Amino acid sequence: MHMLFVLLFAMSIFSGCTSPPPHRADSEVVKTPTIEMQSFLIQPQHLDMGSVMEGEEAQATLFVRNTGLLPLHIAEVYSECGCTVGSVASQEVPPGGFTTLDVRIDTTAKGEDIVKKITVIDLLGNKEEAWLTLRVKENPHAGDMSGRGIFSGKCAACHVVPAAGKVKGEDIYAAVCAMCHGVEGRGAYAPKLRGQDVDALRLILQHGIDRRMPAFSREKGGPLSPHQIVELTNWLSGLDE
């Protein structure tokens, strides 16, 4: 379930960017042409990576451009936290050239929005920074689900509510069964449901099997009315094996 954010930037964007980035001078060297000769940029300098579900890895590609007159030697790429890693495709970049900078952010146990700074340093100590922002959505299935009923609490929003008002068996199935038993009963996380006897189906929906397959009938705390169970089981039992 990895989401891929690969952002490609047209070269044309770059042509509009001419101001050289600020530099850090380590030693008190008299202004030599070296300053203009060595310069680079990370593009974009601020990237919105959109949103991912907590626990997923987010990925982005940035560019490091050599805007100077001499070859660029990238010494280091880092970010403040271990959950973010960046690596460049090439450490040497010719004048006017660029290399890609791949960034991966692990969102495990990150319940909130993320802002990350990526720093690139060249061999002379020149530093450039880029900022990444990422929204992290709460994962309803994070953590241990054993011992939690699918009809209770927050789970109900997706495992109960969608059945409301559904009349046709096919629609009821798509709303609250397909997520586990697959499209049209073909099986997925839970067994396939094709070619089953209508009475056996009704019995299971009324009483359930175990915690993983609880009773769906209203009288046992489930989301389905007696009428919905009739419609659903009539439709399901009509699917050939």
Residue 7 engages ligand HEC in binding (rule: CB under 6 A): no
Q: Given the complex with ligand HEC, which of 97 and 191 has the nearer CB atom? A: 191
CA-CA distance, 141 to 139, in Å (whole number)?
5
Q: Given the complex with ligand HEC, which of 75 and 188 has the nearer CB atom? A: 188
Residue 177 engages ligand HEC in binding (rule: CB under 6 A): yes
| 19-114-88 Cα angle (round to 5) | 55
What is the smallest separation between the CB atom of 107 and ligand HEC, expressed in angstroms? 16
What is the smallest separation between the CB atom of 200 and ligand HEC, expressed in angstroms? 7
CA-CA distance, 64 to 91, in Å (whole number)?
10
Number of shown-chain residues binding ligand HEC (CB under 6 A): 29
Determine how many CB atoms are found less than 10 A away from the CB of residue 17: 14
Within 13 Å, how many C-alpha atoms sit on residue 47's CB side?
Answer: 25
Applying the rule CB under 6 A, the residues between 14 and 53 that interact with ligand HEC are: none
The site map against ligand HEC for 195-214 (x = CB under 6 A) is -x----x--xx---xx-xx-
Choosing from 25, 81, 109, 145, the residue that interacts with ligand HEC (CB under 6 A) is 145
**CB neighbour burial string for 93-122, b if at least 16 within 10 angstroms, e if fewer:** beeeebbebebebebeebeeebebebebeb
Residue 140 engages ligand HEC in binding (rule: CB under 6 A): yes
> Cis omega before residue 44 (within 30°)?
yes
CA-CA distance, 41 to 120, in Å (whole number)?
9
Choosing from 40, 63, 98, 216, the residue that interacts with ligand HEC (CB under 6 A) is 216
**Residue that has been written with the tokens 């997520």 in this structure:** 179
The residues of the shown chain that bind ligand HEC, judged by CB under 6 A, are: 140-141, 145, 148, 150, 154-155, 157-159, 176-177, 179-181, 189-191, 193, 196, 201, 204-205, 209-210, 212-213, 216, 232
